[in-house]
């Protein structure tokens, strides 16, 4: 299901396009305003492929359809073995296995990056994402009630985690 590789700077416009779809949905991220490519350059540069990679997934035609980021959980030396994973798939390609392919790849590549624990924060109404995490052995480790607000509607954050 799709080819997965390390994202390059030429992928950044497509990564931003996919992420902005998630922002518009109000279900997959707590960001509420769309990003520009320029505003995401530092974010992209901060993902060293050897430690905090961004994996890009292409369909059979070579179109980038999704990505998964491995990011620092918190910038503390004792937490370097723990990372946060986030994943986004083009909304026109949901349900086709690209998210699963990305997660499987990230889990298999974790030893190369020195990661031992993966965490994922999920808005409580994002049941699709929660299902994907559970499919890959993530457990719900915590809940932060009413931490996000979208147009006056409060939403909690679930914390999922697993050893990798």
Q: What is the pLDDT of residues 5-28, one digit of tens each?
A: 999 999 999 999 999 999 998 888
> 3-119 — its CATH code?
3.40.630.30
* pLDDT, the chain, mean: 95
Name the one residue in this structure whose structure tokens are 């910038």: 75
The residue-averaged pLDDT of 59-78 equals 95
Q: What is the dihedral of CA 141, 80, 35, 9, to 10 degrees?
A: -130
What was the pLDDT predicted at 28? 86
SS3 20: helix
Cα–Cα dist 118/28, whole Å: 18
Q: Is the model's pLDDT at 1 over the cut of 70? A: no
pLDDT in tens, 113-164: 999 999 999 999 999 999 999 999 999 999 999 999 998 999 999 999 999 9
pLDDT in tens, 92-110: 999 999 999 999 999 999 9
User: Which pair of structure tokens corresponds to residue 74?
Assistant: 């918190």
Q: Is the model's pLDDT at 2 over the cut of 80? A: no
User: Which pair of structure tokens corresponds to residue 128?
Assistant: 């699709």
Evaluate whether 66 touches 102 at the Cβ level (below 8 Å): yes
- The residue extents of the domains of the chain are 3-119
Name the one residue in this structure whose structure tokens are 């320029």: 38
What does the angle CA 30 – CA 34 – CA 36 come to, to the nearest 5 degrees? 130
What was the pLDDT predicted at 122? 96
Bridge partners of residue 85, in order along the sequence: 70
State residue 146 phi and psi, 5-degree precision: 50, 35
**Strand locations in 51-115 (E):** 54-58, 64-72, 82-89
pLDDT in tens, 20-58: 999 998 888 888 999 999 999 999 999 999 999 999 999
Name the one residue in this structure whose structure tokens are 């409580």: 124
């Amino acid at each position: 299901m799709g080819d997965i590789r390390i994202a390059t700077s030429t992928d950044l416009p497509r990564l931003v396009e996919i992420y902005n779809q998630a922002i518009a949905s109000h279900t997959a991220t707590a960001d509420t305003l769309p990003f520009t490519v320029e505003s995401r350059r530092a974010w992209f540069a901060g993902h060293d492929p050897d430690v905090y990679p961004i994996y890009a997934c292409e369909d059979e035609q070579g179109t980038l359809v999704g990505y998964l980021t491995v990011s620092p959980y918190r910038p503390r030396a004792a937490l370097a073995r723990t990372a946060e994973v986030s994943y986004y798939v083009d909304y026109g390609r949901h349900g086709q296995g690209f998210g699963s392919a990305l997660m499987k790849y990230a889990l298999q590549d974790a030893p190369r990056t020195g990661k031992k624990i993966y965490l994922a924060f999920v808005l409580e109404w994002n049941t699709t994402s929660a299902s994907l995490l559970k499919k890959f052995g993530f457990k719900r480790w915590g809940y932060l009630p009413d931490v996000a607000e979208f147009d006056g509607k409060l939403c909690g954050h679930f914390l999922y985690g697993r050893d990798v």
